[in-house]
Amino acid sequence: MKTAGTMIGRTLANGLGILALLSVLIGLYLAFCYAPPDALQGDVQRIMYIHVPTAWVAFLAFFVVFVASIVYLWTRAPESDRLAAASAEIGVLFTALTLIDGSIWGKPTWGTWWTWDARLTTTAILLVIYVGYLMLRSFVEEPEQRARLAALVGIVGFIDVPIIYMSVLWFRTLHQPPSIQRGGVAMPDEMLLTLLFNFGAYTLVYFFFLVKRVRIESLRAIGDALMAAKVRHE
């Protein structure tokens, strides 16, 4: 039964991976061949189709850390801790990529690679918080203490996410306000469709990575338990 379940899980995970890859390729086609160039920025604005989705995935990843951390503190289920750890690592990757491609976009549009603007600074703080989260996990050896402390950081750290989102509205910044707001959408339909498609594509990439990362954490936990049993037996 275990083998059959594993096979089904693998097939689903690999199917998700293929779907994610196809979606990214279609997203690239839409970004370069379907969406029109921006009237002011020209072609360099096409960086938006990768910058905004990576930022969205980073927020999603840290939201998953937030929820999984609350569930862990509530239930003490190790699966929740493993989910939080996996999602935090992916979130750090996507936050770093958001800062890098945002910086590359900033140079031709703002004339600088970096400025201590509210949106950029709060995003850099987010990266530092979750790098700290991962470092904490690697420093604390006792599993329950590690999970408990990490859950606290995972919950408190998430406070920065709504601050980042609202920073362009609360402060005077170089960064443009959200393109999609309750009041309407500030872009043509072709750009909106391309952006939304890329949101979906990179969300699929996130879930594919998450499934694989959680599986690694689960196997390591099984390995640790088997090793402990072996040592006890000897």
Partner 1 sequence: MSNLAYIVAAYGITLGSLAVYGFLLWSQLRQAERDVAALSGGEGEGYGHQ
- Comparing CB distances to partner 1, the nearer of 51 and 119 is 51
DSSP code of residue 46: G
- Comparing CA positions, the residue from 74, 175, 104, 89 lying closest to residue 134 is 89
- Comparing CA positions, the residue from 79, 66, 90 lying closest to residue 155 is 66
**What is the H or E stretch that residue 213 is in?**
helix 189-233
Question: Judged by CB under 8 A, which stretch of 44-52, 67-75, 140-148, 186-194 contacts partner 1?
Answer: 44-52
Is beta strand 180-181 parallel, antiparallel or unpaired with respect to 184-185? antiparallel
- Comparing CB distances to partner 1, the nearer of 146 and 212 is 212
Other C-beta atoms within 10 Å of 26: how many? 16
Beta bridge partners of 180: 185
- Comparing CA positions, the residue from 219, 224, 203, 222 lying closest to residue 90 is 203
- Comparing CB distances to partner 1, the nearer of 12 and 156 is 12
If one asks whether residue 12 binds partner 1 (CB under 8 A), the answer comes out as no
Q: Which of 35, 50, 60, 64 binds partner 1 (CB under 8 A)?
A: 50
- Comparing CB distances to partner 1, the nearer of 46 and 119 is 46
Q: Which of 66, 105, 130, 199 binds partner 1 (CB under 8 A)?
A: 105
What does the binding site for partner 1 look like in residue numbers (CB under 8 A)?
2-3, 5-6, 10, 14, 24, 28, 42-44, 46-47, 50-51, 54, 93, 96-97, 100-101, 104-105, 107-108, 205, 208-209, 212-213, 215-216, 219-220, 222-223, 226-227, 230
